[in-house]
Amino acid sequence: EDKVVQSPLSLVVHEGDTVTLNCSYEVTNFRSLLWYKQEKKAPTFLFMLTSSGIEKKSGRLSSILDKKELFSILNITATQTGDSAIYLCAVEEGGSNYKLTFGKGTLLTVNP
Amino acid sequence: DGGITQSPKYLFRKEGQNVTLSCEQNLNHDAMYWYRQDPGQGLRLIYYSQIVNDFQKGDIAEGYSVSREKKESFPLTVTSAQKNPTAFYLCASRQTGLGNQPQHFGDGTRLSIL
């Protein structure tokens, strides 16, 4: 069974729209949740969330975690064509191995 | 600049051939990881290593092998036992012992079958 589920799997919007990407998870020993953006090559780090209710913000992107309901959202306001990418959510479990479990990703396409 | 270098960018494998993907980092990170990415799929963990001369299997280790003889290097061999090797392979590293840190990724290697 999938431990990390992202929705939607794909999304097409117009420039200027606001989008919300969802990530739900089910792990027994949660350490942190991470968001990455992947264009053509390396995933690049966006946010790491460890505490509920504290919004992380970077420019037009923001993210928040709900540890009670086991989900996170990534918001992108005033989207631009450069935001087109796969957005990956991953959960790091506690312990000493620091392994990440990834969701399948959301493919975001922003049309001009 | 510090980073993770993967080579080659593209690789072709013939039937029955073993191929090795290189991953080098100069970030002085202790932990290194190999992932496989297929279209429409997230990243799946193949192998990981937290210290030199030690490594563990991930979720899909069958048909792969690794070594960790130096801190900065973690090569992945795709053996002939891996029957469906066509995928995008990503290497990552992470600092440990300094609290919450993200994994950082290389630019990947695309492996195809000839």
Which single residue is written with the structure tokens 């992380």? A56
Nearest-CB residue to A32 (from B50, B100, B106): B100
For residue A66, list its beta bridge partners. Answer: A71
Confidence of residue A1 (pLDDT cuts 50, 70, 90): low
> Tokens for A77?
């306001």
Torsion angle defined by CA atoms of residues A63, A107, A99 and A52, in that order, rounded to the nearest 10 degrees: 20
Q: Does A103 touch chain B (CB under 8 A)?
A: yes
Report CA torsion sign: A27, A33, A35, A38.
Answer: negative
Q: Give the residue from chain B lying closest to A42, CA to CA.
A: B107
CB-based contact B42 A32, cutoff 8 Å: no
Partner-chain contact A42 B48, CB within 8 Å: no
What residues in B contact A98, CB-CB < 8 Å? Answer: 31, 50, 94, 96, 103
Question: What pLDDT is stored for residue B18 in this prediction?
Answer: 93
User: Which residues on chain A are in Cβ contact (under 8 Å) with B99?
Assistant: none
Tens of pLDDT, residues B33-52: 999 999 888 899 999 999 99
Residues of A in contact with B43 (CB under 8 A): 43, 88, 90, 100, 102
Indicate if the pLDDT at residue A2 is higher than 80.
no
Per CB-CB distance under 8 Å, the chain A contacts of B50 are: 96-98
Considering only CA atoms, which of B76, B94, B107 is closest in space to residue A38?
B107
How far apart (Å, rounded) are the C-alpha atoms in residues A9 and B57?
A: 28
Instruction: Give the confidence band of B1 by pLDDT, cuts at 50, 70, 90.
Output: low
Phi, psi of B18 (to 5 degrees): -90, 140
B105 band by pLDDT with thresholds 50, 70 and 90: very high
Lowest-pLDDT range, A38-42, A101-105, B7-11, B44-48? A38-42
Residue-level pLDDT at A29: 86
Q: How far is B5 from chain A (nearest CA, A)?
A: 11
Confidence of residue B4 (pLDDT cuts 50, 70, 90): very high
Average pLDDT value for chain A? 94
Q: Which of A28-32, B1-5, B32-36, B93-97 has the lowest mean pLDDT?
A: B1-5
What is the band of A27 on the pLDDT scale with cuts at 50, 70, 90? confident
Backbone angles phi, psi at B22, to 5 degrees: -95, 145
Smallest Cβ distance to B105: which of A4, A43, A50?
A: A43
Q: Which of residues 59-88 of A touch B (CB under 8 A)?
A: 88
Q: What's the gap in Å between the CA of B107 and the closest CA on chain A? A: 4
> Within 10 A of B40 (CB to CB), how many other CB atoms are there?
11
Q: Averaged over A39-64, what is the pLDDT?
A: 94
